[in-house]
Amino acid sequence: MECNYSNKEVLFAALAGVLYSLFGIFNIAEGIGVNTGLAGILFVPGDILGGICLVVIGTVFLYGLKEMRQGINAGVSFVYVGILLSLVFMAVYLLIMAGSLLDSFIVPDDYEGWSIMETFRPGIYLGLISIAGMLYWKDSFSLHEVLVFREGY
Amino acid sequence: MTEKITVALAGNPNVGKTSIFNAITGSKQHVGNWPGVTVERKMGKRVHNDLEMEIVDLPGTYSLTAYSLDEIIARDFIIEEKPDIVVQVVDATNLERNLYLTTQLMELGVNLIIALNMTDLSLAKGDRIDAGKMQEFLEVPVVSTIGSKGNGIEGLLEEITKEFQRPQETDNVFTYDDAIEKVSEDLESVLESDPFFIHYPSRWFSLKLLEGDENIIRKAKESDSYPGIEKILNKVDAELLEAKIADQRYKTIQTMLRQVCNINTCSLSGSDMVDRVVTNKYLGIPVFLSLMWAAFEVTFTFATPFMNMIDIFFGWLAEAVTNVISVPWLASLVGEGMIAGVGSVLIFLPNILLLFFMISLMEDSGYMARAAFIMDKLMSRIGLHGKSFIPLVMGFGCNVPAIMATRTIEDTRDRLITILITPFMSCGARLPVYVLLAGAFFGRDAGVVIFSLYALGILIAVVSAKLMRGTVLRGEDTPFIMELPSYRVPTLKGSAIHMWERGQIYLKKAGTIILIGVVGVWLLASLPAPGSNAVFASDAIYGTTQSVIGVIGQFMEPLVAPLGFDWKIAVALLFGVVAKEIVVGSMGVLYGAGENEDNLSQILAAGAMTPLAGLGLMVFTLLYAPCFACIGVIKRETGSWKWTMFQLLYGTSLAWIFAFIVFQAGSRMGLLV
Amino acid sequence: MNEKTLDFIEPDTSVKILKVAGQKSSRKRILDMGLTPGTRVDVVRRAPLGDPVEFKLKGYNLSLRKREAETVLVEIVE
């Protein structure tokens, strides 16, 4: 039975899985008061719930990694869905940025000493990895492939 | 000279009926209610070649039995209103089950046209369907369409025109085995000889009798021929027949499908792939919760600027108008009454629109069904359905769109219970009250206190649901039989249209009630109390002891004294029925703290109120009557003042009782005094 | 006897329907949705909390609570 995925998917799952989980954990850590020193450079503010979401995305990738290593063909679904999820969250964070920016013009008083970068999140730049993934595997995201996934033909 | 005809749109849920409806009617549509029920009815118009069509969107149904309100509505409409044409929208990627409804429509003898929709998806899937052969087999016109892109609509309209001008008599394509046919014939001859049944297609009626359709049997009992009918029915095994009839319908469908198309059966479709993750034993719930959180965050952060814009605009407008009008009381009426009233309606709009947009995306993509699937176990513990979960979660943001979202719940009882307990999901507007009071009295522990309030709300909701299920709204538990449709990519346009429909409903119906309520409160706050010589609607009177509402507050003081409240709080709470956001502001005015909340916080902490009473007030705010917008929406969605009043009284009574317990028990125990 | 009720069937198993018992309203609905005697049904998975259960039949996916699945008598195929 042919394999539906190659080493590339496995590597991607490993990379994305680890990155998302790590950043998620950092976020949670900052949220509960542990100073990781990353707040400044990598825009990791204390955001417990957001961090949990990142960890969830990371886990999706890692679970897919597990299945693929066990030889389960359908395990690659986790990579695709993981990519979709991370793109959704990227869009969410961008919208939050836009909303905050807009609000800062409407009620400037509430935003004294605020800069837009306060709303910048790892979810946004990590999402770039997923965009790369999506472009690379864009055939898999086409309508035909989305509707038909042949088990080992 | 244009002729007018009625065209009914029927079909299973999730087949793209809405996009076909939109493609046909464009902007010429309006939403109402089916008579006597709270089910939404969509109608639209289209003119094609001198033919004016009134399009009626029937509720999506899997069959035409009598067990769900939607099915009864669809069926009654077809039998009683006798539309000229019925167009059934069929999902080409799901033919076998979709055609089951077709068999019943054909038995009803309607002028049927099939719109074979989503042909792009079935082609991409690798299926080959011969629409022409299907048309031959069924003896019914079959038009291929792609509703989401508007393809095939012209062809459909052409076909409707042709069919109207030259209706075809179809032979019975769907026949049953000899035994069943024989019994049916016997029944038909009884039916045809009795003028009571003249409106019903006799074959359809007799088959329904054989199937044991309760609604139909009840109708038959009203006629004189019933004994004869009963005699025939007693000779057959109804249960066995029911299964046989369903089975034979499907067998005929399968025979046709074998001749008419080539379905690509893949072992794992893309949709299945996504489900592997989304309904995964370990990841399913975390993914769901993450998406819920994401939806919330976006809605509230993105809605905030727009809500602020509306707030500022109306504030400016009120001032401008007040400055222009020279008569003080009129200025106040228009400014603080009407404009503030309209503002309080519109301010929710961005919130509602965004939340509904999110919901439409979830519904149109098919994810909503998965959410109900995942959460059903929890919900069934309290006697509800998986579909109740999402509205309840939304309630934490704003109860108004949450209650409107209960439309997706099919069973009326489940829906009613969900609507009644949603207000206990502490909404965003109550938060400022908690923050003020918890901040003033509990300092560092404020967070824990607020969290407990939310938990209390959930607890009360759960217990209330169980109680209502067991007493007032007792009934059979609804069976959970839900399709998990294939995932589809939702169109922005489609979701935007859904979103806008909800917005319109909110503005029209809930809006009226809110406006009246706000002006009413304004009136009470502006009218001088008997014996006072303050000027009507002046600054000196508005909301003070000199006004009617102040008098009412003082009158109520004995009622709230056991809770540790004074008349000022009573007035603030009254204002809070208009909109919970107002409670803090009015407390500020009444305690003389002005606009500054920190000021107010200090005044309260310094002794204007005891911490215990503060806690009681938070509990009271959590449970008592919801805001006018919410009341308006409850009325609209339940369709009855009785249940709306019930919610108000129930909630307020609970609020009083719990606040009482908090204050009295706490005082006895010497806590927090 | 290879007969069991649908709620007892493990995921990734295929069955054939023998009979649908149960109360009027849910029985009718179950039959209408295509769970007729002789139909082949695949048990896909249980929900994360154990209930309801997802099935595949006649080319589409349907979910039922165990309570509804209990009323369907089936036999395992293959």
Is the bond preceding residue A108 a cis peptide, omega within 30 degrees? Answer: no
Chain-chain contact of B96 with C48 (C-beta, under 8 angstroms): no
Write out the CATH class of domain C3-76: mainly beta
Per-residue pLDDT band at B537 (split at 50, 70, 90):
low
Most confident of B287-296, B439-448, C36-45: C36-45
Chain-chain contact of C65 with B479 (C-beta, under 8 angstroms): yes
**B544: which DSSP letter?**
S
Residue A1's pLDDT is: 43
Given a cut of 80, is residue B265 above it in pLDDT? Answer: no
Chain-chain contact of A85 with B287 (C-beta, under 8 angstroms): yes
CB-nearest to A99 from B274, B283, B304 is B304
The full length of chain C comes to: 78
CB B95 within 8 A of CB B56: no
pLDDT digits (tens, 9 = 90+) for A1-35: 456 667 888 888 888 899 888 888 888 887 777 77
Residue B534's pLDDT is: 64
Residue C1's pLDDT is: 60
Please give the residue of chain B at the shortest CA–CA distance from C53: B373
Per-residue pLDDT band at B322 (split at 50, 70, 90):
confident
CB B85 within 8 A of CB B7: yes
Could you tell me how far CA A147 lies from the centroid of its own chain? Answer: 24
Please give the residue of chain A at the shortest CA–CA distance from B309: A106
What percentage of chain A has pLDDT greater than the value 90? 11
Chain-chain contact of A98 with B302 (C-beta, under 8 angstroms): yes
CB-nearest to C49 from B239, B369, B377 is B377
Main-chain dihedrals φ then ψ at residue C45, nearest 5 degrees: -165, 165
Q: Which CATH number fits domain B178-236: 2.40.37.10, 3.20.20.10, 1.10.287.1770, 3.30.450.20?
A: 1.10.287.1770
Residue A76's pLDDT is: 82
CB B53 within 8 A of CB B45: yes
Per-residue pLDDT band at B123 (split at 50, 70, 90):
confident
The full length of chain A comes to: 153
Please give the residue of chain C at the shortest CA–CA distance from B485: C61
Query: Among residues B63, B239, B97, which one has the least CA distance to residue C20?
Result: B239
Instruction: Compute the distance between CA of residue A44 and CA of residue B211 in angstroms, rounded to an integer.
Output: 64
- How many CA atoms lie less than 13 Å away from B42 in the CB half-sphere? 23
What percentage of chain B has pLDDT greater than the value 90? 22
β-sheet bridge partners, residue B143: B115
* Residue A150 C-alpha, separation from nearest chain B C-alpha, in angstroms: 6
Question: Left, alpha or beta for A75 (phi > 0: left; psi -120 to 50: alpha)?
Answer: alpha
CB A149 within 8 A of CB B270: yes
CB B180 within 8 A of CB B145: no
The total of other beta-carbon atoms located within 10 Å of residue B5's CB is 18
Q: Which amino acid is at C3?
A: E
Residue A74's pLDDT is: 78
Interface contact B2, partner A, CB < 8 A: no
CATH number of B3-165: 3.40.50.300
Residue B651's pLDDT is: 93
Mean pLDDT of the region B273-278:
90
Please measure the distance between the N-terminal and C-terminal CA atoms of chain C and give it in whole angstroms: 15
Residue B419's pLDDT is: 94
With contact defined as 3+ CB pairs under 8 Å, the chains touching B are: A, C
Residue A143's pLDDT is: 55
CB B612 within 8 A of CB B564: yes
Chain-chain contact of B243 with C67 (C-beta, under 8 angstroms): no
Q: What is the CA radius of gyration of chain B?
A: 30
Chain A contact set for B121 (CB, 8 A): 143, 147
Instruction: Compute the distance between CA of residue A29 and CA of residue B320 in angstroms, rounded to an integer.
Output: 50
Least confident of B7-16, B167-176, B225-234, B316-325: B167-176
Residue B593's pLDDT is: 64
pLDDT digits (tens, 9 = 90+) for B561-572: 888 888 888 888
Higher pLDDT, B518 or B13: B13
Given a cut of 50, is residue A153 above it in pLDDT? Answer: no
Residue partners of B231: CB distance under 8 A and separation at least 6: none
Q: Where are the domains of chain B?
A: 3-165, 178-236, 293-427+450-476+493-504, 515-668
Instruction: Compute the distance between CA of residue B7 and CA of residue B14 in angstroms, rounded to an integer.
Output: 20
Q: Which amino acid is at B349?
A: L
β-sheet bridge partners, residue C75: C3, C16
Q: Which two tokens stand for residue A102?
A: 């807009």
Residue C61's pLDDT is: 94
Query: Among residues B3, B69, B77, which one has the least CA distance to residue B43?
Result: B77
Please give the residue of chain A at the shortest CA–CA distance from B293: A49
Residue B170's pLDDT is: 65
Q: Where are the domains of chain C?
A: 3-76
CB B612 within 8 A of CB B673: yes
Provide residues of A within 8 Å CB-CB of chain B: 49, 52-53, 56-57, 59-60, 63, 74, 77-78, 80-82, 84-85, 88-89, 92, 95-96, 98-100, 102-103, 105-107, 143-151
Q: Which residue has the tokens 């990353």?
A: A38
Residue A150's pLDDT is: 43
pLDDT digits (tens, 9 = 90+) for B240-257: 888 889 999 999 999 889
Higher pLDDT, B461 or B193: B461
**Beta strand pairing status for B3-11 and B51-57?**
parallel
* Residue B111 C-alpha, separation from nearest chain A C-alpha, in angstroms: 34
pLDDT digits (tens, 9 = 90+) for B625-655: 898 888 888 988 888 899 999 999 999 999 9
Per-residue pLDDT band at B540 (split at 50, 70, 90):
low
Chain B contact set for C36 (CB, 8 A): 243, 246-247, 250
Given a cut of 70, is residue B142 above it in pLDDT? Answer: yes
Given a cut of 60, is residue B457 above it in pLDDT? Answer: yes
Mean pLDDT of the region B594-623:
80
pLDDT, averaged across chain B: 84
* Residue A140 C-alpha, separation from nearest chain B C-alpha, in angstroms: 9
Residue A58's pLDDT is: 92
**B405: which DSSP letter?**
G
Chain B contact set for A68 (CB, 8 A): none
Classify residue A106 by burial, with Cβ atoms within 10 Å: 0-12, 13-18, 19+: middle
CB-nearest to C63 from B212, B285, B373 is B373
Give CA angle at B334 (B329, B337), nearest 5°: 90
Residue A151's pLDDT is: 39
CB B373 within 8 A of CB C47: yes
Given a cut of 90, is residue A123 above it in pLDDT? Answer: no
Instruction: Compute the distance between CA of residue B584 and CA of residue B433 in angstroms, rounded to an integer.
Output: 6
Residue B550's pLDDT is: 79
Q: Which two tokens stand for residue B224?
A: 């004189």
Residue B422's pLDDT is: 95
Main-chain dihedrals φ then ψ at residue B143, nearest 5 degrees: -115, 130
CB-nearest to B67 from C28, C45, C65 is C28
CB B591 within 8 A of CB B567: no
Q: Which two tokens stand for residue B46?
A: 């289209």
Q: What is the CA radius of gyration of chain A?
A: 18
Q: What is the 3-state secondary structure (H, E, C) of B355-389?
A: HHHHHHHHHHHCHHHHHHHHHHHHHHHCCCCHHHH
Instruction: Compute the distance between CA of residue B441 and CA of residue B604 in angstroms, rounded to an integer.
Output: 8
CB B257 within 8 A of CB C51: no
Please give the residue of chain C at the shortest CA–CA distance from B257: C58
Query: Among residues C63, C60, C46, C39, which one has the least CA distance to residue C9?
Result: C46
Instruction: Compute the distance between CA of residue A150 and CA of residue A134 in angstroms, rounded to an integer.
Output: 20
The total of other beta-carbon atoms located within 10 Å of residue B185's CB is 12
Would you call B572 helix, strand, or coil by DSSP? helix
| Buried-state track B375-401, b at ≥16 Cβ within 10 A, e below 16 | bbbbbbebbbbbbbbbbbbbbbbbbbb
> By 3-state DSSP, what share of chain B in percent is helix, strand and coil, each rounded to 5?
65, 10, 25
Chain-chain contact of A63 with B280 (C-beta, under 8 angstroms): yes
Query: Among residues A108, C28, A88, C39, which one has the least CA distance to residue B253?
Result: C39
Residue partners of A100: CB distance under 8 A and separation at least 6: A116, A118, A119, B301
pLDDT digits (tens, 9 = 90+) for B484-502: 998 888 888 878 887 887 7
Mean pLDDT of the region B202-216:
86
The total of other beta-carbon atoms located within 10 Å of residue B524's CB is 18
Please give the residue of chain C at the shortest CA–CA distance from B211: C28
Edge-to-edge strand list for the sheet holding B29-33: B29-33, B40-48, B51-57, B3-11, B85-91, B112-117, B142-144
Q: Which amino acid is at B89?
A: V
Residue partners of A153: CB distance under 8 A and separation at least 6: A2
Residue B117's pLDDT is: 94
Most confident of B154-158, B175-179, B189-193: B154-158
Contact: chain A with chain B (3+ CB pairs below 8 Å) = yes
